[in-house]
Amino acid sequence: MGVKVAVVGGGSTYTPELVEGFVTRGDRLTVDELALLDIDAERLAIVGGLAERMLRRAGWSGRLVLTGDRDRALEGAGFVLVQLRIGGQAARFSDETIPPRYGCIGQETTGPGGFAKALRTVPVVLELAEETARRGAPDAWFVDFTNPTGLVTQALLDEGHRALGLCNVAIGFQRRFAAHFGVGPERVQLEHVGLNHLTWERKVHVDGVDRLPELLEGSMDLVSDEVDLPAELIRAVGAIPSYYLHYYYRTAQVLHEQRNGKKTRAEEVMEIEAGLLELYKDPLLDTKPALLEERGGAFYSDAAAALVASLHAGTGDVQVVNLRNDGAIPGLPDDAVVEIPAVIDRDGAHPLPVAPLEPDMLALVEHAKGYEILAARAAVTGDRRIALRALMSNPLVGDFDVARPLLEALLGANRGYLPRFFAGDAPAPYAG
């Protein structure tokens, strides 16, 4: 029996990745209806047109719906995937450019920029989850790919929603290690541990044998270039950090680069997206263009479609997701949302226990998790005192005299998207 899948932010340039993932998993997941929801009708028509051509090329016989009507999209959906961006790339540009003026890293998922994005995003995603619970199919799954994924998932689970968070960092590492060792991705299993965008690869099993020591001692070009960290640092840590750890491990260097004219990622993505949308308009294009990999969503299709397929079919395979800790990482609360491998079946994701984190890793994870909990609370309540505490507790801020004026700058720049902080303001719409 088939299912309905709704994609919130269906006009995103990521969508062809997702369509490709569903097409290649038709043996485990029969999608009867795919609903793409977006408030930007022109963009949705362009992306939806390519999605239609891709699906028909694959021989798909289901129904594709392009809509700006939230209720229509969510009605009867068994899976709701969220990949929206509140405020679009313009808001991301503010996230990346305001913090450096106050001596802080400017980035859209970590530091003050990630905090601003969380304030804009959490209330909208919670509203979507509540509407899914009302309108979706019984026991519908709500899957969040919207950053900051771990923080958003924490808010969703704290509110009791049937939700999981998803990121493409782990699957990206898996694919790159598989290529390095010349094996299929299914033969590579990672011990990927931490919080979303704050993780380490502590084991790289290839056919059951841990090849991490070999990588650390001999193949550091593959690793250090990927994560933008020196080999000496990675060997000292004894694990492969995700790219996002370089914001914590080399804060001064990154801030120097940001303050000295380095193009922001928002500007780069704007250019890439403009090029992608022009490609998508081509009526002869019916496959995912190679340029999409530069967008930052490489392997997203595999991660998202594999998760939905396994939840639907109950295959019991292991995937990396954001979910409650439930004792998997010793020393962290059970209700803390972490990013680790889990067994996926029809009942959901079941975290696999891992060895304790090293003291430096645990300290950073605990610090960041405390910030995430406060930031989620601030987003829901619109309480400026909680927001100030959250920003002060962010590992990339940590100073009251910085946090206070920075908070006012971030709130002011995002006023149109933060009605809970500015009573009486009409909320701005979300963007894909």
Query: Does the pLDDT at position 108 exceed 80?
Result: yes
How much is the pLDDT for 431? 44
User: Is-catalytic flag, 244?
Assistant: yes
How much is the pLDDT for 432? 44
How much is the pLDDT for 220? 81
Stretch 383-388: mean pLDDT, rounded? 98
Q: Which of 168-172, 223-227, 247-251 has the lowest mean pLDDT?
A: 223-227
Stretch 225-231: mean pLDDT, rounded? 92
Q: Could you read off the pLDDT of 293-336 as tens digits, one per residue? A: 776 666 877 799 999 999 999 999 999 999 999 999 999 999 99
Return the closest-CA partner of residue 328 out of 318, 319, 338, 320. Answer: 338
Q: Could you read off the pLDDT of 35-79 as tens digits, one per residue? A: 999 999 999 999 999 999 999 999 999 999 999 999 999 999 999
Query: Does the pLDDT at position 356 exceed 50?
Result: yes
Q: Are 131 and 161 in contact (CB under 8 A)?
A: no
Residue 360 and residue 372: Cα distance in Å, rounded? 18
How much is the pLDDT for 426? 56
How much is the pLDDT for 282? 96
Considering the candidates 244, 247, 280, 417, report the single residue annotated as catalytic: 244
Sequence-ordered list of residues with C-beta below 8 angstroms from that of 193, at least 6 positions apart, any chain: 199, 200, 202, 329, 338, 339, 340, 354, 357, 361
Residue 61: exposure state from Cβ atoms within 10 A (0-12, 13-18, ≥19): exposed
Sequence-ordered list of residues with C-beta below 8 angstroms from that of 290, at least 6 positions apart, any chain: none
Query: Does the pLDDT at position 128 exceed 80?
Result: yes
Q: Could you read off the pLDDT of 397-427 as tens digits, one per residue? A: 999 999 999 999 999 999 999 999 998 665 5
